[in-house]
Chains A and B, each alone.
Chain A
Amino acid sequence: MSDTVYQSPPPARRISRVPGWVRRLPAYFLVWMWTAFTLAAIAYVLLSAVKSKREVLRSGWNLPQEFIWSNFATAWNVGRLGDYFLNSVMVVGGSVFAILLVSTPAAYVLARAKFPGREAVTNLFVLGMGIPIPMLFIPIFGILSYLRMTDSLTGLSLVFIAISIPVTIYLLTGFFASLPSELESAAVLEGCNDFQVFWHVMLPMAMPGVLTALILNLIWLWNEYQLSLVILNSPDNRTLPLGLYSLQNAMQYTGDWPGMFAGVTIVIIPTIIAYALLSEKMIAGMTMGAVK
């Protein structure tokens, strides 16, 4: 037997001598800069929220000499953030619940059912996502006036629901479409009707997607300012972002900047908590459709 020596073919392209981590340095640099900037801003807000009026403008990022927790009480009571917090919870909580209640089954049907006009309906929702919100101010206000719902939390909730449904359905349609159809068939053979297939099998499997939709809606509606400003008028109906703006105006005259920072802290804490609790599931949901 002949000893045949096979030579490996020459490499198709020159292999870079620069190690991978060096090539990724610019990306790391940008990410860390971004993170540092965000953390610095949050740290500044948190530190300033517990400083005295005198200290807040002088000490920068230094720790306060004395923690003034009463700033929160000032923001909560004097700035009426307590009332606005409750308004936000009601509007955002109710809206997010209604958005998911409508969008989840709608997305399931659009993703899985076969009926004429399905694509047209799906495209209609996609189209709805492309309309800039400021363009909707006048028509929305007109409709709400007609319904006698301007300056009401119910009216604002309806607008939130209507505006969020297209993007939520679009997001969830992707999740439902990525689920294997054999599971549906198996459930049907086990005796499930259409609703039972959705409720017992497809919805639990799409939970990462539903949680993603929940948290995205929660964050954007909690911080929503423009629509609230257009629709709400009376101080009693303000949501937190509007309340914060009025607090800032008030603090400009009183010079109570720590109170304003305490107000900002009150606004951002719930979204941070929600994100911390749900982020893992949300990331799982974000990547679920991408990799089978």
Chain B
Amino acid sequence: MSQSIPAFEARGVSKSYAQTAVLKSIDLTIERGEFVVLLGPSGCGKSTLMRCIAGLDDIGGGSFKIEGQDVTNAAPAARDVAMVFQSYALFPHMNVADNIGFGMRIARRPKAEIAERVLAAAKILKIEHLLNRKPKALSGGQRQRVAIGRAIVRNPKIFLFDEPLSNLDAALRSETRVEITRLHRRIGNTMIYVTHDQVEAMTMADRIVVMRAGVIEQVGAPLELYNNPRNLFVATFLGQPPTNIVSASVEQSSSDALVLRVGNAGRLTLPSINGALKAGEVIRIGIRPESFSIGSGAGIVPVTVDLVEQLGNETQIYCRLDDGQSLTLNIAGQINPPVGSSLDLQIAPEQIMVFGADDQNLRYSAKQ
């Protein structure tokens, strides 16, 4: 099989502001046509990385390649990328058509070509009736489309989206999310999308890049990250409500099984981690809220109900272990255990994440 040239490559990219390192040796490869989401909390460096890719900020070390060409020191316009900003960044003194065609006007393209391509982009985004309006006469969603139009009219090698939905209300956000995904399917360009919203990341991405404090924590398909997080940060960052992190003590760790005590009365038997842990060691385990079921039998953890939230299709139960650690459960369907009552929780052993002292997931299996 022939190796195709990736759309984008970052090798050892670092950047500092004064003494603070905001990007630390970033390595990332993005294939052509991929929709990659940079996800992380505020201040993790995702927007900085995007601005560096666009050439708006310089990097301290490392290199960028776009479709095989080294663009580390190239001017922003020479990189053939287009960016959609969080604030839309529409030029308020120009109408929609002039905003969309601005780059081509600067490049001194013929007027007829500009008009034709502006109209084509406007038709894709269904804003052809707005071409003569100024940005102030548009709604938030329309402005966002114009900003996307300004990007697609240039047919760049890479689209960069910097939290483009964060200024929209909830309904419009989910609508626009679907539209951007459809747009990607339709035009097929490589897209890099920055967000701190895990729902956007999970629903839109081919692959998610989870970042924290200037470091890439894990890269993978959304469900791969959800089911097989590399470390405690990724496990807790993805998923809503977040993964329950519970302290447990190792009762037995052998080549056959790992037996954990959870709280005072709970005991869980998990598949072995090949003796990576020692008896008596206190570790942390992660359990997704939907990994619980209410039942009886082996592997039972008793809890006391604190609060019940009925959501119709599911029930969220906030409860406590007998040593005071809190848990959140997502149980499918409608149940209504009384507050203060006891529940016996059953957890599928293979769905329990086990974190070592360095917060790494001991069950993580790297895929090639």
The yes or no verdict on A and B being binding partners is yes
Task: Provide the B43-70 mask, 1 if CB < 8 A to any CB of A, else 0.
Answer: 0000000010011100000000000000
- Inter-chain contact total with CB atoms closer than 8 Å: 55
Task: Indicate if A26 sits at the interface (CB-CB under 8 A).
Answer: no
Contacts of A207 in B (CB 8 A): 93
Contacts of A226 in B (CB 8 A): none
B77 lies within 8 A of A185 (CB)? no
Q: Which of B82, B93, B107 has a CB less than 8 Å from the CB of A189?
A: B82
B91 lies within 8 A of A189 (CB)? no
Q: Which of A183, A185, A190, A205 has a CB less than 8 Å from the CB of B106?
A: A190
Task: Indicate if B92 sits at the interface (CB-CB under 8 A).
Answer: yes
Contacts of A201 in B (CB 8 A): 91
Measured as residues with beta carbon below 8 angstroms from the partner, the interface class of chain B is 20 to 34
The DSSP consensus for interface residues of chain A is helix
A180 lies within 8 A of B106 (CB)? no
Q: Which 10 A-B pairs have the closest CB atoms?
A: A190-B103, A191-B77, A186-B89, A182-B89, A204-B93, A191-B106, A182-B85, A185-B56, A188-B76, A189-B76
Q: A182-B85, A182-B87 are in contact. Are A189 and B106 (CB under 8 A)?
A: no
B87 lies within 8 A of A190 (CB)? no
- A-B contacts besides A182-B87, A201-B91, 17 pairs, CB < 8 Å: A182-B85, A183-B91, A185-B89, A186-B85, A186-B150, A187-B102, A188-B56, A188-B76, A189-B55, A189-B77, A189-B81, A189-B83, A191-B103, A191-B107, A192-B106, A204-B91, A205-B92
CA distance in complex: A185, B92 (Å) = 15
Task: Indicate if A118 sits at the interface (CB-CB under 8 A).
Answer: no
CA distance in complex: A183, B77 (Å) = 15
B106 lies within 8 A of A188 (CB)? no
Report the minimal beta-carbon distance from A117 to chain B, rounded to whole angstroms. 19
Contacts of B83 in A (CB 8 A): 185-186, 189
A197 nearest CB neighbor, chain B only: B106
A residues near B (Cβ < 8 Å) are 180, 182-183, 185-192, 196, 200-201, 204-205, 207
A196 lies within 8 A of B93 (CB)? no
A-B CB contact pairs (8 Å), 27 listed: A180-B87, A180-B89, A182-B86, A182-B87, A183-B89, A183-B91, A185-B83, A185-B89, A186-B83, A186-B91, A186-B150, A188-B76, A189-B54, A189-B81, A190-B77, A190-B102, A191-B77, A191-B106, A196-B106, A200-B91, A200-B106, A201-B91, A204-B91, A205-B91, A205-B92, A205-B93, A207-B93
CA distance in complex: A110, B169 (Å) = 37
Contacts of A183 in B (CB 8 A): 89, 91
Interface centre among A180, A191, A200, A205 (most CB of B within 10 A): A191
B98 nearest CB neighbor, chain A only: A200
Report the minimal beta-carbon distance from B359 to chain A, rounded to whole angstroms. 36
CA distance in complex: A191, B85 (Å) = 16
Please provide the chain B residues from 73 to 122 with a CB less than 8 Å away from any CB of chain A in the complex: 76-77, 81-83, 85-87, 89, 91-93, 102-103, 106-107
B78 nearest CB neighbor, chain A only: A191
